[in-house]
Amino acid sequence: MRLSDFNALSFDCYGTLIDWETGLLEALKPLRDRSGVSDDDLLTAYGEAEHEVEVEHPGLIYSQLLEKVHATLCRRLGVAEDRDEAAKLGASVGDWPAFADSPDALRYLKQHFKLVILSNVDRASFAGSNRRLGVEFDHIFTAQDIGSYKPDPRNFEYLVARLDEAGIAKSELLHVAQSLYHDHVPANRMGIASAWIDRRHDKPGGGATVLPEPMPHFDFRFTSMAELADAHRREQG
């Protein structure tokens, strides 16, 4: 299997293209300071809380969902809830930084593939991230559009159906994502080829994403978007 076998790349955004852990830690700094918890423990607690709230409130837009996640974290960490902190977390998504390699890699890949976003976010929040990424995506599918959050299979069913309408078959699609749990597990179930962007290759644990058991299959592994783009360049000679 070669990257050039595909005509479209669908991306998870946060953790893959946008450095969401850096963004989260900055937005959660007041909570971290109040609770005294370490960055690693805070990210782990965040990942568990976010997943639970997404399951409980699949129709809630992401910025509002983050406010509920903040309240859940406060309760678990034994500190008082703070509505102002929660609102700032919900509004922070567009400020989260892009990984340094993402814009150049996307500009290169845009010359060879249709580019698609499949993200657990709302449209307004993604608009800020899109400006940081500096490329026009051919399709943007968000949890707000779909009414559920990955790893719900409905998100990938929606992706496949909308791309089929656009003339892109499932066999032509490669899903590119960091989160094994949110993306590679459901992509496996849907029979979608996938590339793992292993952004945490030099760090222990799953960080802000739940680790799945067993390990899902992936067809390619890279530690950055730059590595993916370089692999495609080599295929092109």
Report, as residue numbers or ranges, the catalytic residues: 12
Chain centroid to Cα 21, Å, comes to: 11
User: If we measure between CA atoms, which residue out of 136, 92, 93 comes closest to residue 117?
Assistant: 136
User: If we measure between CA atoms, which residue out of 225, 237, 229, 223 comes closest to residue 3?
Assistant: 229
Buried b vs exposed e over 85-121: b needs ≥16 C-beta within 10 Å?
A: bbebbbbbbbebebbebbbebbebbeebbbbbbbbbb
Q: Rounded to whole angstroms, how far apart are CA atoms 118 and 120?
A: 7
DSSP 170: G
User: Quick count: other Cβ atoms within 10 Å of Cβ 67?
Assistant: 20
